[in-house]
Each structure stands twice: as structure tokens, then as C-alpha cells.
Amino acid sequence: MHVLLRIRNGSEVMGKLVVEEENTVTLIGALTIKYVQNEDGVPHMYFSKYCLFNKSMDVVFPMDCILHIFKDPVPSLIEYYEEQLEVIQATLEKKIEIMKKRQQDTTDWQKQEEILYAMIEKEMSDTEVH
């Protein structure tokens, strides 16, 4: 079930409610709703990942952080949420792949650097003229 949470800090989070307990609410695909105005003053909204510093999009909210739980978001908001969730997940997967590639490249470079240092050390320790 899609829900919209209003958090005590004023932000709004949308996601799929999977667990509602006495002290916590668990959402999968948690996205924050952001509101902006363009140069003409026309309001817009967009979704962003709730927490930018973790891979998972699942969040457990303590009840004392939640002001309201809305269990009946309008269908157009649910549709927009689903579209944006798909885009955000695809972007996140691409970024994870890029980071893995960078880590692999860094590892390869470090191996080459280690080999070079080993060769220099060997040459410096070899005092015999050839």
C-alpha cells in the first residue's frame, strides 16, 4: 500500500508501507517529495531518494518522528511516484556500477604501482654492475 508520511522536520516521504508496528513504520522505496518554483514562479514537485548516503531505499521510521500517515494518496501522485522510483533506481544502479568500475581501476593502478616500486627497490638494492 502506498503511503505518504509527514515527518516532524516538515518533510514528506512517500513509499510502500510494508510494516506498521506500535513504535515503527517501514517503507520500501522511500522517496522525499521536494517542492520548487522555477524562474516564472510556477511551482513544481519532484522526488529524491530519502537518504542519499546508503544503497537501500528501505527505511524504518520511529513513530515519534512521524506527524501523520496518509494511507490514501491520489492516483496521479502514486503514478508519478512509480515513474520516478523506476528512474531513481536505474540511476542508482548505474552509479553503483560506475563506482565498482572506479574501484577496479584504482585496484589495477595500485597493483601496477606496487610492481613499479618493487622493480625500483630491486634495482636500487642491486649494486652489482651488469
User: CA dihedral defined by 73, 79, 80, 86, rounded to 10 degrees?
Assistant: 120
Which DSSP helix (H) or strand (E) runs through 66? Answer: strand 66-70
Cell reading at 117: 616500486
pLDDT of residue 48: 92
Q: Are 68 and 87 spatial neighbours (Cβ–Cβ below 8 Å)?
A: no
CATH number of 2-99: 2.30.30.100
The Cα-based distances of 75 to 14, 66, 78 in angstroms read 13, 23, 5
Which tens digits make up the pLDDT trace of 9-42? 999 999 999 999 999 999 999 999 999 998 888 9
pLDDT of residue 9: 93
pLDDT < 50 stretches in the chain: 130
Domain regions of the chain by residue span? 2-99
Specify the 3-state DSSP secondary structure of 21: coil
The pTM for the full model equals 0.72
pLDDT of residue 130: 47
